[in-house]
Amino acid sequence: STQELKFTGLEQHAIGNAVAGSLFVASYIMRVRSEGRGEPTSTLARTLALAGGGLSLYTAWLGGKLVQEHGEAVRPVMDTLP
Protein backbone atom coordinates (compact mmCIF):
# COMPACT_ATOMS: atom_id res chain seq x y z
CA SER A 1 0.00 0.00 0.00
CA THR A 2 0.97 3.64 -0.31
CA GLN A 3 1.26 4.00 3.46
CA GLU A 4 3.75 1.12 3.59
CA LEU A 5 5.77 2.69 0.75
CA LYS A 6 5.91 6.02 2.56
CA PHE A 7 7.05 4.37 5.79
CA THR A 8 9.72 2.31 4.08
CA GLY A 9 10.91 5.36 2.12
CA LEU A 10 11.03 7.46 5.27
CA GLU A 11 13.06 4.81 7.04
CA GLN A 12 15.52 4.55 4.15
CA HIS A 13 15.78 8.34 3.93
CA ALA A 14 16.36 8.80 7.66
CA ILE A 15 18.76 5.90 8.13
CA GLY A 16 20.63 6.79 4.95
CA ASN A 17 21.16 10.36 6.17
CA ALA A 18 22.40 9.11 9.54
CA VAL A 19 24.84 6.70 7.89
CA ALA A 20 26.06 9.37 5.44
CA GLY A 21 26.72 11.74 8.33
CA SER A 22 28.62 9.02 10.17
CA LEU A 23 30.77 8.33 7.09
CA PHE A 24 31.65 12.03 6.83
CA VAL A 25 32.52 12.23 10.54
CA ALA A 26 34.71 9.11 10.34
CA SER A 27 36.50 10.51 7.29
CA TYR A 28 37.04 13.85 9.02
CA ILE A 29 38.48 12.24 12.16
CA MET A 30 40.85 10.10 10.07
CA ARG A 31 41.98 13.15 8.10
CA VAL A 32 42.63 15.23 11.23
CA ARG A 33 44.62 12.42 12.83
CA SER A 34 46.67 11.89 9.66
CA GLU A 35 47.41 15.61 9.44
CA GLY A 36 48.46 15.66 13.11
CA ARG A 37 50.99 12.92 12.41
CA GLY A 38 52.20 14.67 9.27
CA GLU A 39 50.96 11.88 7.01
CA PRO A 40 49.02 12.21 3.77
CA THR A 41 45.29 11.52 3.79
CA SER A 42 44.61 7.80 3.58
CA THR A 43 42.72 6.13 0.78
CA LEU A 44 40.19 4.84 3.32
CA ALA A 45 39.43 8.37 4.54
CA ARG A 46 38.86 9.51 0.97
CA THR A 47 36.72 6.45 0.22
CA LEU A 48 34.54 7.07 3.28
CA ALA A 49 33.95 10.66 2.17
CA LEU A 50 33.12 9.54 -1.35
CA ALA A 51 30.69 6.92 -0.04
CA GLY A 52 29.06 9.54 2.19
CA GLY A 53 28.64 11.85 -0.80
CA GLY A 54 27.10 9.11 -2.91
CA LEU A 55 24.72 8.11 -0.14
CA SER A 56 23.77 11.76 0.38
CA LEU A 57 22.83 12.04 -3.29
CA TYR A 58 20.67 8.93 -3.02
CA THR A 59 18.87 10.10 0.13
CA ALA A 60 18.30 13.55 -1.42
CA TRP A 61 16.70 11.89 -4.45
CA LEU A 62 14.64 9.66 -2.16
CA GLY A 63 13.48 12.67 -0.12
CA GLY A 64 12.41 14.44 -3.30
CA LYS A 65 10.53 11.35 -4.41
CA LEU A 66 8.73 11.15 -1.06
CA VAL A 67 7.60 14.75 -1.42
CA GLN A 68 6.77 14.80 -5.14
CA GLU A 69 5.18 11.39 -5.58
CA HIS A 70 3.75 10.67 -2.15
CA GLY A 71 3.11 14.19 -0.82
CA GLU A 72 5.02 13.45 2.35
CA ALA A 73 5.35 16.48 4.66
CA VAL A 74 3.50 18.69 2.20
CA ARG A 75 0.73 20.80 3.65
CA PRO A 76 -1.33 23.00 1.34
CA VAL A 77 -1.16 26.70 2.27
CA MET A 78 -4.91 26.98 2.83
CA ASP A 79 -4.79 24.24 5.47
CA THR A 80 -2.25 26.22 7.53
CA LEU A 81 -4.29 29.44 7.71
CA PRO A 82 -6.38 30.08 10.86
Dump pLDDT digits (tens) for 35-76: 999 999 999 999 999 999 999 999 999 988 888 887 777 666
Those residues with Cβ within 8 angstroms of residue 66's Cβ, 6 or more apart along the chain or in another chain:
6, 9, 10, 13, 72, 73
Q: Which amino acid is at 7?
A: F
Q: Which amino acid is at 5?
A: L
| pTM score of the predicted model | 0.78
- CA distance linking residue 72 with residue 66, whole number of Å: 6
Query: Each residue of 65-82: pLDDT tens digit?
Result: 888 887 777 666 656 666
